[in-house]
Structure 1
Amino acid sequence: MTMKLKIEGAGDIERALGQLARGTAKGVGRRAMKKALKPVADMAEATSPFTVKVTSKLAKSQYRSAAGDRGRSKVVLYVGPVRPDGSVLPHGHLYEFGTAPRFHRKSGKSVGAMPARPFMRPAWDANRAQVLATLKRELWTEIEKTMERARRKAARAGS
């Protein structure tokens, strides 16, 4: 399940990020997004048997559908189930959406159906407004921290 969040009308944030180097601005965005998406991951993890993390990793099978997400100036993070080592868990969608009755091809033996047990969508719906508010706040905090670090670095270089 892919959900995109686009902030419009945040011109001050865009201008402040535009004053930073692209790599620095992407780091600012990444740190702010991780903090903003943490409540979604925590709620999803509490309602599922999986470990749920905010990550930039995808399974190999997901790369093609996420091709439009990549770009030089884009910061993309995903919230989803992962294995304990942090690698992607490929069957989380089966738990989220359920399955129809399944049968073995050769023997015809029924292996059952799995009912849908949504955990990501309810977590997103419950935290959507909070994510946006937190993202705006954290972006400003990260921009200010970055500007302060740059000022200190310039002061050290000047003395």
Structure 2
Amino acid sequence: MKRLTAEVEGLDSLMRKLDQLPEAIGEKIQWQILMEAGEIIADLARDLVPVDTGDLRDSITVSDTIAGYDGQGLTLGLGGAVTVYIGPQRNSKPDGWYGHLVEYGTVKTAAQPFMRPAFDSTKGQVQSRIRNDLAAAIARAAKG
């Protein structure tokens, strides 16, 4: 029986580029990808939220800080340190501190969900956006 051998050229170069990917797709690029994907959810949430004064609607943001988190927003991440928050911000102008009361209801008012339906309706689009943006970032890093 004859043995077949092959030599792969460029493997060392490929391995070096793969080792550099985490740095090439650094936190700045990950933030950008997640912020843009989060806006898909936030846009629909702003359309779905009931409007009285408009403060709750206008407080729905995508943020790289969870400081204004009121317990009813969403977080979106890539499994590492980079995470964004999507939802009403409290202690802001306008202040959406009562978003959880609208989303889940109270003993006196019925729930009027807007965050969960926004997430459920857009999750496929958000996943595709993240996947495509990450693939583009990887392709750019591989060429660089």
**TM-score, normalization by structure 1:** 0.58
Kept in 2, the 8 Å contact 1:54–1:78? The answer is: yes
1:2-21 alignment, distance < 5 Å:
19-21=21-23
Partner residue in 1 for 2:46: 45
For 1:144 and 1:86, how far apart are their aligned partners in 2?
40
* 1:74 partnered with 2:81: yes
Structure 1 unaligned regions, length at least 5:
1-14, 64-68, 101-112, 152-159
1:50-69 alignment, distance < 5 Å:
50-51=57-58, 52-59=60-67
Per the alignment, in what secondary structure is the counterpart of residue 54 of structure 1? strand
* 1:138 partnered with 2:133: yes
For 1:146 and 1:41, how far apart are their aligned partners in 2?
29
Structure 2 unaligned regions, length at least 5:
1-16, 52-56, 72-76
Letter in structure 2 aligned against 1:19: L
* 1:95 partnered with 2:96: no
Q: Deviations over 1:116-142 (max 9, x none)?
A: 000001000001111111101112233
Which has more radius of gyration? 2
Q: Deviations over 1:2-56 (max 9, x none)?
A: xxxxxxxxxxxxx95862438x611111111111121111000011131221112
Letter in structure 2 aligned against 1:31: Q
- 1:87 to 1:147, Cα distance in 2 relative to 1, 3 A: farther
After superposition, the CA RMSD in angstroms is 3.5
Letter in structure 1 aligned against 2:62: V
Q: Deviations over 1:38-83 (max 9, x none)?
A: 11110000111312211123247769xxxxx9x9x41111110136
Per the alignment, in what secondary structure is the counterpart of residue 90 of structure 1? coil
Letter in structure 1 aligned against 2:102: Y
Per the alignment, in what secondary structure is the counterpart of residue 39 of structure 1? helix
For 1:86 and 1:145, how far apart are their aligned partners in 2?
38
Kept in 2, the 8 Å contact 1:35–1:138? The answer is: no
Per the alignment, in what secondary structure is the counterpart of residue 87 of structure 2? strand
**TM-score, normalization by structure 2:** 0.63
